[in-house]
Structure 1
Amino acid sequence: MIARIKKEYSQNIDRHTQGLILNQIEMLLNYSDRFYDRQFFTRNKTGNDVTQRFESLLNDYFNDDHLIEKGIPEVKYFAEKLNLSSNYLSDLLNKFTGKTTIEHIHLKLVDKAKNILLGTTKSISEISYELGFEHPSHFTKIFKTKAGISPLHLRKQFPEQN
């Protein structure tokens, strides 16, 4: 395919040259997409192993009581631990779980936040800092997006648990 492109632009250029070159490049990109997608279907066991290792790393990270110091984990952190690129890890998780790496991180954050919200009387700000957020508003925004309710409203729904 590359040879055809090279041959096309090295010959006399006419009104069809650009279209033919673009068609060859498009075909090359389509084959690349196909190759990339196939690896997820031909490596099911590997993908499941990576997914399980990721979940384990995620649980370990959030079970540690030092989130204030460590902060919210980045996709890069987990990718490096799994010896993968950040994009590949997100693609792999998305294929096997339907969620990207950042979505998994946010859902785990919200689960931990719910436990703290319903188990303590700490303020929303205290909880957000405890979870590694620099700004409580960012915590509230993620919480509301993932839980469908603000942290304060969740707490008000279950007052007896505080």
Structure 2
Amino acid sequence: MKATSPHTIESVSAMHRHMGVKGPSHPMISVVDLSTVKCDTDRVDQSLVYEFYTIAIKKNVEGKVRYGQQYYDFDEGLMSFVAPHQLVRVDKDTPVRMDGLMLMVHPDFFRTYSLAHRIKEYGFFDYAVHEALHLSESEEATVTQLLHTIRQESQATLDAFTHDLLVSTIDLLLTYCNRFYHRQFITRQLASHDVLSRLEAVLDDYFNSDQLIESGLPSVESVANQLNLSPNYLSDMLRAHTGQSTQQHIHAKLIDKAKQALSTTTMPVSEIAYRLGFAYPQSFTKLFKRKTTMSPLTYRQSFN
């Protein structure tokens, strides 16, 4: 069966039509009550690509949402974040109904504001569905209030302050969401410690195998895939618990292996570099010095 191409929804107005709700008051920003969405079952089993940002709080969802090959059921209040040009797919096995609110905003709406750059720094727009933000009762109230404020302001009569107020409220909403995600990383200690343990196991297996010589250092993406996490989520979670990103953990493992070889063998630095996946010894020396403030030879000599 031939796969169908993703359906691109280019505007907020087009999204309103797709959802079967009344057109937006503003062409570039809107907040929709998800309980009012009329779902056409003939169009549910479809991949979608938006040309705008969506930020949604969803509750009591029937149906399955899929990113790639993974499915996720929303049984409780969760937040999801989708950036322009990301692929979203809704499965048609069950009817889709839900409560909640969805903010849609086109990037042109805040292109002349600092938010245009800052929004790209929020890693949660690249998280997978199963890494959604679980809100506490008070957090849900905060998010809901901000979304209602955006909705009311976008539907009110425009004046000289409307645009600034809307952009600043979106900015505030994202700042709160960043705080809430950080709280989630901290409060889910057991799950996070499990990820840390599995990360160490993945890195140990890799560094003790021939893959290092054959393929070089593991990429953040390959490590995250083995842990069934998105690269951004893994790095953000690690920073919250250890202060280091995934890349820094990979480099730490590398430096540990290098120190072991330098202090316990007489192997030439060039051979150590090769065994650690470096095509050029100079690249290894540069990284080692950046991480330890010493060259490999200076480090070795400190043991004599």
Equivalent residue number for residue 99 of structure 1 = 244
* Larger relative strand fraction: 2
**Superimposed CA distance per residue, residues 40-77 of structure 1 (whole angstroms, 9 cap, x where no aligned partner):** 12211100111111111111211224421131111111
> Normalising by structure 1, what TM-score?
0.86
Q: CA RMSD in A?
A: 2.0
Matched, 1:85 2:230: yes
Q: 1:34 to 1:119 in 2, by over 3 A?
A: closer
Equivalent residue number for residue 182 of structure 2 = 37
Matched, 1:13 2:158: yes
Map residues 5-154 of structure 1 onto 2, 5 A cutoff.
5-154=150-299
2: distance between equivalents of 1:139 and 1:75?
A: 18
Percent identity, please.
Answer: 49
> Normalising by structure 2, what TM-score?
0.48
Q: Which amino acid in 1 is paired with 2:215?
A: K
How far does residue 31 in structure 1 lie from its aligned partner after superposition? 2.8
2: distance between equivalents of 1:74 and 1:56?
A: 15
How far does residue 10 in structure 1 lie from its aligned partner after superposition? 4.8
Bigger mean CA deviation after superposition, 78-87 or 62-71:
62-71
Higher relative contact order (CA 8 A, sep 6+): 1
Kept in 1: contact 2:273–2:284 (CA 8 A): yes
Structure 1 residue ranges without an equivalent (≥5): none
Structure 2 residue ranges without an equivalent (≥5): 1-145
**Total equivalences in the alignment:** 159
Which portions of structure 1, spanning 4 or more consecutive aligned residues, are displaced by more than 3 angstroms? 1-12
Kept in 1: contact 2:186–2:240 (CA 8 A): no
2: distance between equivalents of 1:148 and 1:47?
A: 31
Q: Which amino acid in 2 is paired with 1:157?
A: S
